């Protein structure tokens, strides 16, 4: 069981790899701090994934370039911009741990959602303009409508790829043109992926609200762990 600093859940945030530097948009940590979390940037150390998951209360898999589909035996599309292989290896290692640790909430954003889906046996449309007349609706950070179990409203997206099949994850949100926009694992405390960027989305429910859901899930999991420990020790919960 992890400990909180001033009751703020510790949230690990994945980062891009640029040469010998790690990079992540400040908006992720800003939103998390506002939502009540303590953000921590995670280095791409696949061999330490289990330790990161153990010591963090929750994980955010951030946006980035495109998944390297050869990992699943599928050639890369010529228009794809592959993510750094060290980052992909690290995030898949995190996902290996997160699907086991159902008490560790996780939020996947854009690339993060795509990796969640691929890890769950899903398929990826590697270049939307090849098959989707409305592909530009999802490009250049344009606002567009989504609807589903997380709510309905306008979100901001910037992607040329999207899940065409979510594997063992359940689709819980779509765009008006049918693009899969949100997925979740039903056997987990909180394991949600969204194709849009909530850190840049003004809609209260689909933007900041997603970070609040993550933090609330972390607090609930922590409270549940304390109750379990108390029961084992013969103590009443307070």
CATH label of the domain that carries residue 92? 3.40.50.880
Distances (CA, A) of 227 to 101, 221, 237: 18, 10, 6
Please tell me the distance from the alpha carbon of residue 185 to that of residue 100, in angstroms, as a whole number. 12
List, for residues 56-69, the tens digit of each pLDDT value.
999 999 999 999 99
Confidence of residue 3 (pLDDT cuts 50, 70, 90): very low
**What is the four-CA torsion angle of 72, 77, 82, 86, rounded to 10 degrees?**
20
Q: Flag whether 4 is in a domain.
A: no
Do 137 and 88 form a contact (C-beta atoms < 8 A)?
Answer: no
Task: State yes or no: pLDDT of 229 exceeds 50.
Answer: no
Please tell me the pTM assigned to this model: 0.91
Q: Flag whether 82 is in a domain.
A: yes
H/E stretch holding 213: helix 208-233
Q: Flag whether 57 is in a domain.
A: yes
pLDDT value, residue 222: 83
Q: Flag whether 238 is in a domain.
A: no
Please tell me the distance from the alpha carbon of residue 123 to that of residue 77, in angstroms, as a whole number. 13
Domain that holds residue 208: 10-233
- β-pair type (10-13, 58-61): parallel
Structural domains counted in the chain:
1
Q: Flag whether 1 is in a domain.
A: no
Mean pLDDT of the chain: 91
Q: Flag whether 93 is in a domain.
A: yes
Please tell me the distance from the alpha carbon of residue 41 to that of residue 11, in angstroms, as a whole number. 8
Q: Flag whether 70 is in a domain.
A: yes
Please tell me the distance from the alpha carbon of residue 5 to that of residue 18, in angstroms, as a whole number. 31
Q: Flag whether 76 is in a domain.
A: yes
Task: Tell me what the mean pLDDT of segment 176-196 comes to.
Answer: 96
Confidence of residue 105 (pLDDT cuts 50, 70, 90): very high
């Amino acid at each position: 069981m992890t400990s909180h600093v001033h009751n703020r859940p510790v949230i690990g945030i994945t980062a891009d790899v640029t040469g010998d530097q790690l990079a992540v948009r400040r908006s992720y940590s800003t939103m998390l701090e506002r939502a009540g979390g303590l953000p921590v940037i995670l280095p791409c150390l696949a061999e330490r994934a289990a330790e990161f998951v153990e010591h963090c209360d929750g994980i955010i898999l951030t946006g980035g370039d495109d998944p390297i589909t050869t990992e699943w035996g599928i050639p890369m599309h010529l228009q794809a911009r592959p993510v750094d292989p060290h980052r992909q290896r690290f995030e898949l290692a995190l996902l290996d741990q997160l699907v086991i640790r159902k008490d560790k909430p996780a939020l996947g954003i854009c690339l993060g959602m795509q990796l969640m889906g691929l890890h769950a046996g899903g398929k990826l449309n590697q270049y939307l303009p090849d098959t989707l007349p409305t592909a530009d609706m999802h490009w250049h950070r344009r606002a567009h409508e989504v609807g589903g179990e997380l709510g309905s409203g306008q979100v901001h997206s910037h992607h040329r790829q999207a899940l065409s099949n979510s594997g063992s994850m359940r689709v819980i949100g779509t765009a008006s043109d049918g693009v899969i926009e949100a997925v979740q694992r039903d056997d987990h405390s909180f394991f949600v992926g969204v194709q849009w960027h909530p850190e840049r989305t003004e809609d209260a429910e689909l933007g900041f609200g997603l970070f609040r859901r993550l933090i609330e899930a972390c607090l609930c999991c922590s409270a549940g762990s304390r109750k379990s420990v108390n029961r084992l020790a013969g103590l009443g919960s307070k």
